[in-house]
Structure 1
Amino acid sequence: MAGMALLRLGSRLFLGGALSLVALHCSAGGDGGGGSAANGGGGTGANGGGGTGTGTGGDSGLIITTDGEAPDYSVDAFFAVDPPPPDCSDAGAQPIKPGGTPECPDDKNLQGCPCTSAGATAPCWPGKRKHRNRGACKDGVTTCQQSSEFKLAWGECQGYTGITPPTFEPDPNATGKAACTCFSGGYWDVKNTSPCFYTDGTGKVIGGVSTILEANGPRCPTQAEMDFATSKPPTQPFSPNTLKVDCNGYFKLCFKLQALSAKGAAKSAGDCQVMEVCTEGHYGLAGKGPNGTDGELPMPDLKSWITKPGAETTCAGLFYANGGYGSFSVKGISDECDQVDKTFLTFDYCPIYCNDPANKSKPECVNCTTGSGGPF
């Protein structure tokens, strides 16, 4: 008679190649015996900061002149050297030309440029437009001052962050928020990462299949709910999941399950793959806040899965015998053309015997959970 086993995520979390401990908990067991499912924990990301500085700036450009009238500056005059952030969204909106002159554009309030009311304050930015209010780069404040008997001008820009004189650029080697791009990071949370393995009663694995997430946790599907012979997975989706990103865009996120080549073996690029499921879609709500302000949003459910006869089923047997691990990856592009493509989270699974209530107090079984999440 076939048996089933749920696997739960182990208490070790690999994030960016560094080993760290996370708090995990046990998940609900599955029907029958012989298999187990594992779930993984989450993590937090780190934000980079930028320096502060003060200075002045301004760019010149082309001028379109008309007879007897004041110069009419072209868009290129303002943006040829200092363009706004690019737009890779479906809308593809064109940048709005600021007022003033290329040397004194009214969208930056540069030191020494004309102002109209003594004592008035305004946001200022001596750096490039593409970095402004992105990541660690934040506006400063300037005050309108009497610069001569008949002239008012903006004073020194104070309190801006993320750039430093004399270049007024972020560190070219900076990553994350310190790079001052629209996209600097996100967080993917998957509620269920527990697989199930069926055995034939002698310990031989018939195959692996997605668990069904219910109110009290994941369970193995019954044989009536799936079919290894025809590679028919359960009809219920594998897992809900949510995404939070600091910049709107289109993202594809994948969860992969791999087996160790032997018990106690180190992870390797050559480790076989039990399965991979992905979700993708646009992050951001139309009509809501600007980039990165929509908070945690649901992504399409991860679909159910079942191993196919051959390599996948063989790998499921190795996972059952030797243990294995899961990993998360992301590939996407923000509305401002920032690209991301990486594996950002790897997590271990608890031993199968942790499904036995008698083993729940064992150190290796205490910190097991049913889902995982991590930053990228």
Structure 2
Amino acid sequence: MMRIFLIFLFFGNILLAQSLKIISIQQSQNSIILNFNQNIKKQDFKDFALKNNGGIRYVYDIQAELMGSAKVFKFEDNIEFKIAQNSKERVRFVINSSKEIKIPLEVSAKKAVLIFPNAKSLNSPSIASLFEEPKIAKTPPKTTTTSTAKVTTTANGVGKKKVIVIDPGHGGKDCGAMSVGKVCEKVIVLNISKYLNEELKKRGYQVYMTRSKDIFIGLRERTRFANNKNADLFISIHANAISENREKLEGVESYFLSTARSERAKKVAALENKDDTEVMNYFSKQSFLNILNTQRIIASNRLAIDIQYGMLQAVRGKYKVVDGGVREGPFWVLVGALMPSVLLEVGYLTHPKEGERLNQSAFQKMLALGIADGVDNYFAKNP
């Protein structure tokens, strides 16, 4: 009898493994996200490494079926990610690198995430492409330009008991960047933050703002405020600027904190970090970044993707807006946050057209609506 039971258990496990499917693959600036049709565990992956003269191969196998064709993604430093159906019952993905690297594999519910902390994607996918699903998967819900549809979402419990802290950048003595219409960044982002505050409250969230008027707050005080409120999310709102070739750069961008530093991210971060540059020496900054929590980086990356997509969907019904992408960088305002956190650059104040519309209440309300949609979508997938 025991032998029959063990045989049944063995074949039952095989059938369960064969029913597991990878339904989509997402790529961000520094990660690969595998979406499954059912919950998985880290133990489901079998891994090994193979060294050769040209570098090293990190191999992962899982008993599953890959929906769609084999895919290849490339990152900086000659890092390449390949995934394919290796046999009828097994999916294999291989990371080729010219040197030994550490790539954490994080597993949560139906997702497996590989983080490439010191390299960024060379495929440069648009945010919209991150939401493309294979034939059996559902497409993301279409966002609307009114808040009535989202009230239903919070009625189902998504927004209840979730605490969100909105951080309008700069303030007081710190004007931030100056728009083409000679309006300070601190004024524009405060207006957007107020609209977002109203929208999120309509949807059932508990919302706090680090500042609701024109006052100066240090960078570290902002996340300390969020931590004291036991916030579930921290959203810092800013607007971008450039000193030269102002007609060339425009668009919305969403950032999350990471040790990786692209040249573009460093330039943006330099503007936003200047408040505390003198009081945080280089080595203390390095120590802050070195103790970053991997899980929080992954969650922040997901949040940035959802908000970026939400903003684009909200404003593109009326305006032509460039997708600046989801990026990572050393933003000190995000360092102290104990929850998923993002820094949003809602447009370029120095661009002739975008700088003007960023000061228009209609555009500001659309941005706020899109950010709120992104928050809803994040919690729908990460309750």
Could you say which structure has the higher helix fraction? 2
State which structure, 1 or 2, has the greater radius of gyration over its C-alpha atoms. Answer: 1
Could you say which structure has the higher strand fraction? 1
Higher relative contact order (CA 8 A, sep 6+): 1
Same fold (TM over 0.5): no
Structure 1 length-normalised TM: 0.26
Structure 2 length-normalised TM: 0.26
